[in-house]
Structure 1
Amino acid sequence: SSGKIYIDERDTSGQTPDQLSALRARTIGFIFQTFNLFSVLSAEENIEYPLLQFKELSAAERRERIVKFLDIVGLTEFAGHRPNQLSGGQRQRVAIARALATHPKIILADEPTANLDHKTGEGILQLMKDINRNSGTTFIFSTHDAKVMAMAERLIRIEDGQLVGEDAVHT
């Protein structure tokens, strides 16, 4: 309820809605529990959609990112499928690939493994940990999943909107 938010050493207070929108588009990725995929778009089109506002990216560069992140989440053969042709876990993986494709500094993830089987969930969590270590992307999870919490490097507990504790860094 108070304080300032700095992203890339830039104070976000006092920015216009347009400036904040541009900042969000370029620095924050979102992984929604309910996927928020466009039902009329294929998996690859859903991943490409946020990239369309990056005018500096050519069609070939967008395509390269789509292929890369579909491969990372194990959905290359489902690139042309629409969300209603995918399982819940596959939809979640498309949502994860979409968030990663913009190369954000921060990814906000609401229960990112909730619709994934155990093995896929562990693989996605390990992928996120690797991305964090290799590229510095910060993942912020909202979760009740003990497996997600166990892989976190920092755990902050919030109850009823209040900070109630912080656990030591996991390594």
Structure 2
Amino acid sequence: MRWEELDQQPCSLARTLSVVGDRWTLLVLRESFLGVRRFDDFEKRLGITRHVLADRLKKLTEAAVLVKQAYQQRPLREEYRLTDKGHELYPAVLALVNWGDRHMSGVEGAPIRHVHKACGQAMHGVLVCSECGEPLVSRDVDLHEAPALQGQLLPAHWHAKSRA
């Protein structure tokens, strides 16, 4: 599988990675969730080259994760804002942050506290089942291919395990 062909794969993770699957893109998203909107501010905060930043912002805009909006007409100046589609990436970014807080923080602990506005409590995101509300871990989830893709996506040993 070639990197530039990820968006053609019959896999939601591969297709998602075709949009957000490199470190600079994830850091641009982090900054977007922190309220950064302008090119120069992204550049300063990330220490990224203009060329790489322009490429990542273009890719996120083409994927409708960000949208460019004018904030000044003369001369024209635009900023990048998260779309609804972009905001929907927040749980994924929060999950990565939570993993980093648990496994990559130093002795000082997590660098940023996340406080839920509704209850005022420091929190960490938890992925839960949409149907019963139980917290999810990988061991508690079975995977089943779509009928049209039966036998094409999951490894052979997975099919044997599912039948057992």
The normalised TM-score by structure 1 is 0.28
Name the one with the larger strand percent.
1
The normalised TM-score by structure 2 is 0.29
* Structure of higher RCO (CA pairs closer than 8 Å, 6+ residues apart): 1
**Higher Rg of the two aligned structures:** 2
